Structures are given as structure tokens and as C-alpha cells.
Amino acid sequence: MAQFDDRERAFEAKYAHDAEMVFRAEARRNKLLANWAGEILGKTGAELDAYVVEVMKSDFEEAGHEDVVRKVSGDLGDKATDDEVRRKMDELLIEAKGQIASES
């Protein structure tokens, strides 16, 4: 019975770790996306830092990433379509995962 309990605890620990890694990667992606969009908008310094915070906060409006897409697309206006923002998010998620893996 102890062996079963050990396996259950190991599975729960792995699940918690995997969930944390997904959260960290998505948060990093959003930060990278905000920097990308902020540069397009001509933001620098403190203004860019504030914009990054705005974008990261927008991710907590609803489940999924469409809230971030709406925020960034709305801010970029005709400089990028929703699909371009989604493609950039996909690219940046790969980059974010790589950055996190290299930090471990």
C-alpha cells in the first residue's frame, strides 16, 4: 500500500510541476509579446515597462489567451492583425519555454 501512496504522491508532484511550468512559460510569453508590441508602438523605458505590466494583467481577465490577443491587437490597431498576434504568441511560447529550460 505504501508503494501505491508513493506513486500517487510522485504523480501529484509531477502534475503540480508541469502546471507551474506551463504558467511560467505563458507568463514569459506574454512578457515577450508585450515587449514586441511595445517596440512596434514606439514605447521605451518606463512607458514600455508599464505596458508590459498592462499586457500581463490582461491575461487574468478570462481563461485562455484570447484576452491577451484582444489587448495587444487592439493596441496595435492596423499594425498587426489578430492572426499575426497569435502567430507571434506561438513563436514566443517556444522561445519562452527554451529560456525557462535553460535557466533550470
Domain boundaries, the chain: 26-103
**Cβ(89)–Cβ(65) under 8 Å?**
yes
Second-level CATH architecture of 26-103: Orthogonal Bundle (1.10)
In the predicted model, residues of the chain with pLDDT beneath 50 are none
Instruction: Report the residue count for the chain.
Output: 104
User: What is the average pLDDT value for the chain, to the nearest integer?
Assistant: 92
Q: Please give the model's pTM, rounded to 2 decimal places.
A: 0.86
Distance (Å, whole) CA 27 – CA 46? 20
Burial code (b: 16+ CB inside 10 Å, e: under 16) for 10-41 equals eeeeeeeeeeeeeeebbebbbbbbbbbbbeeb
Positive or negative: CA dihedral 66, 68, 71, 74 = negative
